[in-house]
Structure 1
Amino acid sequence: MPSPKVAVVTGAGSGIGRALALACAREGMAVVAADIETEALAQTQALVKAAGADCMAQRCDVSSAADVEQLAEASWRWRGGVDWLFNNAGVAVLGTAWDATEDDWRWVLGVNLMGVAHGVRSFVPRMRARGTPAHIVNTASAAGLATVGGSAVYCASKHAVVAYSECLAKDLEQVGSSIGVSVLCPSLVATRINESQRNRPAALAAAGPTAAAYEERVRAGMASSAVSAEDVARAAVEAIHARRFYVIPHARTGASVQDRSQKIMGDFHDIHQENLQ
């Protein structure tokens, strides 16, 4: 009997990450669950095993290139390769653009953007050398396709993840790789991302002020969302099977993207055409 395929999920201790780990278990895959929170990670590992799948848990701070490299090495030692990689770990800060501190930027970009970059740098060369079909899902956000006030740092990080993923897909296509890429862009879902500060490093503790109105907006959006973390995970797995790049689980995201695109095109003008008039 052939060995099961292997999925690696970062940020697997809660929310979308835990739902992705369980979705992979239902696919009959062995799961490498990674998170910075060891207790939450152990809970995910127990749930994955209860679902009938083998699971290795490893603490990993994705903002650390060394931690992610160790995760890749451990994954290869455990099963000899990885078929699906979910660069999913993420954090958020709220507040006006001018109130964001240097520590806010370092923390959010370190996890949300560099966590993805570290994952690609450590896993893709190994995946390519292995030579079998594989897939990478980078978790961005609807905030990577549109924008909202009070979220400058978060939106900037997620727009960067979308652009990075688009470039990654082009790079892999140009070298004829069998590795597919998807970018996952959910809107608000009932997760613990609004409690991100629980994992904020002491060395990056200087946070800008957050207005209560921003926090209430996020709480209300999570509470009213008809889309669950399980729905998001299911959409991601479906996208992998369909080899679809953009994964947008919330229907209303389309209206936000369309509105932004219309504003861009409305302000667009051809300076060469102007010079002819």
Structure 2
Amino acid sequence: MTEDPFAGRTAVITGAASGIGAALAAELGARGMSLVLADIDEIGVRRMAAEMRDRKVHALGVGVDVSDPNSVAALAEASYTEFGSVELLCNNAGVLLLGTVAESSLGDWRWLSSVNVEGTLNCLHAFLPQMRRASGWRYVMNTSSTHAFLPDTSRSALYSATKHAVLGLTLGLRTELAADGIGVTLLCPGQAATRILDSQRNRPQSYGRRAGEPFGTGVIPMSIEPAEVARIAVEGIRRESPVVFALPEDTRATFRSQVESMWRLADDALGEHLETRAAAVD
């Protein structure tokens, strides 16, 4: 696709109160889209919507807990009531905590997966039925992470596991929705200058005690700016790319070597299997 598909259409963006979600709002709004901005931080997301309206963008801010199917259903109803259609769904809401598998609690896992995995599914179930019945350009972008491609996820195994799930879900969804004419892209940021280290500020008490925060709660240093992530993501949607990586320029060579190490694990295992079969034949 070479033309700009965004102007005059509506996007729903979760996790839109700050970080990459807010940057996606600014990028898509500048390209002429109407916006439904959703976040568990209701005050923050309504403020972001007001900023978009100050820029002459038609924007609605909605407080939403993506882990709650009823909350997401209410988001879908508000979106269609306000705009009549949704052409782009950006499942961007995500949370992070760090710690070893042995030290992490089941509450840690349940919280991470409830937002990162079930939150994505809840949004898909709420929006896809009407998107599939519509016609014309329609698109879904799910946010995963470069962590879905790393061979060593020490201290981030639970988080990485949820992002592996989003990877598998998105690649399968891309095939499933092709027949409906709906495009799907996986966004994989790495080291973005966001508040993701402070994700537990929104962690419900029902998931138990907060995990330790070994790297503090500040903005990630030596990072790519959210605005650049959003620009790369939106260009990836325009090109209908299956996967889009957005990470600092000076970390790309390291990331490529990490991905190559990941695939060497498979190559080594397959090689051992072939050697075992050859020895058995001999």
Counterpart check, 1:205 vs 2:203: no
- Structure 2 residue corresponding to 1:162, chosen from 159, 164, 167: 167
Identity, % of aligned positions? 34
**Mapped partners of 2:279, 2:79: distance in 1:** 57
Are 2:258 and 1:260 equivalent residues in the alignment? no
Query: Which of 27, 30, 45 matches 1:26?
Result: 30
Give, in whole Å, the separation in 1 of the partners of 2:268 and 2:96. 31
Counterpart of 1:149 in structure 2 is: 154
Given candidates 240, 243, 246, the residue that maps to 2:243 is 246
Residue by residue over 1:178-217, the C-alpha shift from the partner in whole angstroms, topping out at 9 and shown as x without a partner, is: 110001101111101100111000111334445x3xx16x
Alignment of 1:67-216 (within 5 A): 67-146=71-150, 147-173=152-178, 176-210=179-213, 212=214, 215=215
**Unmatched 5+ stretches in structure 2:** 1-6
Structure 1 gaps, min length 5: none
Q: Distance in 1 between matches of 2:83 and 2:278?
A: 59
Q: CA RMSD in A?
A: 1.7
The normalised TM-score by structure 1 is 0.91
Residue among 222, 225, 230 paired with 1:228: 225
1:79 CA displacement:
1.0
Pick from 35, 38, 42 the counterpart of residue 38 of structure 1: 42
CA deviation vs aligned residue, 1:113-147 (integer Å, no higher than 9, x gap): 01111111111111011122211110000011214
1:84–1:135 contact (8 Å) kept in structure 2: yes
Compared with structure 1, are the counterparts of its residues 62 and 262 closer, same or farther at alpha carbon in structure 2 (3 Å cutoff)? same
SS of the counterpart of 1:224?
Answer: coil
Q: Which residue identity does 1:181 align to in structure 2?
A: V
Give aligned pairs, total.
267
Measure, in 2, the Cα distance between the counterparts of 1:58 and 1:82: 15
CA deviation profile, 1:135-175 (whole Å, cap 9, x unmatched): 111000001121421001100000100011011111112xx
Secondary structure in structure 2 of the residue aligned to 1:42? helix
1:52 maps to which residue? 56
Contact in 1 for aligned 2:23/2:226 (Cα 8 Å)? yes
How far off is 1:52 after superposition? 2.1
| Deviation (angstroms), 1:267 | 2.5
Deviation (angstroms), 1:219: 6.1
Are the aligned partners of 1:33 and 1:57 in contact in 2 as well (CA < 8 Å)?
A: yes
User: What letter matches 2:139 in structure 1?
Assistant: H
